[in-house]
Amino acid sequence: MEKRYKGCLFGLAVGDALGAPVEFLTLPQIKRKYGGGGIKDFDSWGGFPAGTYTDDTQMSLATAAGCIGAWKRGMEKGIWHPPSFVNLKYLEWLETQSDPRQVRAPGNTCLSALRSGKMGTVDEPVNNSKGCGGVMRTAPAGLAFPPGQAFEQGAAFAAITHGHPSGYLPAGVLAELIAHLVRGIDLEKAAGLSLIPLRGAKGYQETMDCLEKAKELAQSSLAAPQAIEKIGEGWVGEEALGISLYCSLKFRNDWAGGVLASVNHSGDSDSTGSITGAILGTLLGLEAIPVTGCRELRTPLT
Ligand SMILES: [Mg+2]
pLDDT in tens, 254-280: 999 999 999 999 999 999 999 999 999
Q: How far apart are the first and last CA of the chain?
A: 13
The answer on pLDDT for 294 being more than 50 is no
Distance in angstroms (rounded) separating the CA atoms of residues 118 and 114? 7
Question: Is residue 23 in some structural domain?
Answer: yes
Ligand 1 centroid from CA 200, angstroms: 30
Ligand 1 centroid from CA 268, angstroms: 8
Tell me how many domains the chain contains. Answer: 1
Distance in angstroms (rounded) separating the CA atoms of residues 217 and 211? 10
Ligand 1 centroid from CA 76, angstroms: 35
Q: Which amino acid is at 207?
A: T
Question: Is residue 7 in some structural domain?
Answer: yes
Ligand 1 centroid from CA 104, angstroms: 7
Ligand 1 centroid from CA 60, angstroms: 11
Residues 29-52, mean pLDDT to the nearest whole number: 93
Ligand 1 centroid from CA 191, angstroms: 24
Ligand 1 centroid from CA 210, angstroms: 22
The answer on pLDDT for 298 being more than 60 is no
pLDDT in tens, 106-155: 999 999 999 999 999 999 999 999 999 999 999 999 999 999 999 999 99
Q: What is the mean pLDDT of the chain?
A: 94
Q: What share of the chain is helix, strand, coil (3-state, %, to 5)?
A: 65, 0, 35
* Residue in 249, 172, 242 with CA at minimum distance from that of residue 209: 242
Question: Is residue 16 in some structural domain?
Answer: yes
Ligand 1 centroid from CA 246, angstroms: 20
297 pLDDT tier (thresholds 50, 70, 90): very low
Question: Is residue 134 in some structural domain?
Answer: yes
The answer on pLDDT for 293 being more than 70 is no
Distance in angstroms (rounded) separating the CA atoms of residues 105 and 100? 10
> Which pTM was predicted?
0.95
Distance in angstroms (rounded) separating the CA atoms of residues 115 and 264? 33
Ligand 1 centroid from CA 72, angstroms: 29
Listed residues: CB within 5 A of ion ligand 1: 54-56, 270
Angle at 102 between CA 99 and CA 106, to 5 degrees: 110
Ligand 1 centroid from CA 283, angstroms: 23
Question: Is residue 223 in some structural domain?
Answer: yes
Ligand 1 centroid from CA 73, angstroms: 30
Ligand 1 centroid from CA 54, angstroms: 5
Rounded to 10 deg, the angle between the 269-284 and 255-263 helix axes is: 170
Residues 208-232, mean pLDDT to the nearest whole number: 97
Ligand 1 centroid from CA 23, angstroms: 8
The answer on pLDDT for 299 being more than 90 is no
Q: Are 173 and 98 in contact (CB under 8 A)?
A: no
Ligand 1 centroid from CA 59, angstroms: 9
Question: Is residue 243 in some structural domain?
Answer: yes
Ligand 1 centroid from CA 63, angstroms: 15
Question: Is residue 302 in some structural domain?
Answer: no
Q: What percent of the chain has pLDDT over 90?
A: 91
Ligand 1 centroid from CA 234, angstroms: 12
Question: Is residue 231 in some structural domain?
Answer: yes
Ligand 1 centroid from CA 80, angstroms: 30
**Core vs surface per residue 77-112: b (16+ CB within 10 A) or e:** eeeeebbbbbbbbbeebbeebeeeeeebebbebbbe
The answer on pLDDT for 300 being more than 90 is no
292 pLDDT tier (thresholds 50, 70, 90): low
pLDDT in tens, 57-96: 999 999 999 999 999 988 888 889 999 999 999 999 999 9
Q: How many CB atoms lie within 10 A of CB 70?
A: 23
Instruction: Give whole-number Cα distances, 58 to 9, 55, 257, in Å.
Output: 11, 5, 24
* Residue in 96, 44, 60 with CA at minimum distance from that of residue 294: 44
Who's near 288: CB < 8 A, 6+ residues apart?
Answer: 7, 255, 280, 281
Residue 290 domain boundaries: 2-297
Residues 200-229, mean pLDDT to the nearest whole number: 97
Question: What pLDDT is recorded for position 75?
Answer: 80
pLDDT in tens, 177-208: 999 999 999 999 999 999 999 998 999 999 99
Instruction: Return the CATH number at 106.
Output: 1.10.4080.10
Ligand 1 centroid from CA 58, angstroms: 9
Ligand 1 centroid from CA 74, angstroms: 31
Ligand 1 centroid from CA 56, angstroms: 5
Q: How many CB atoms lie within 10 A of CB 131?
A: 24
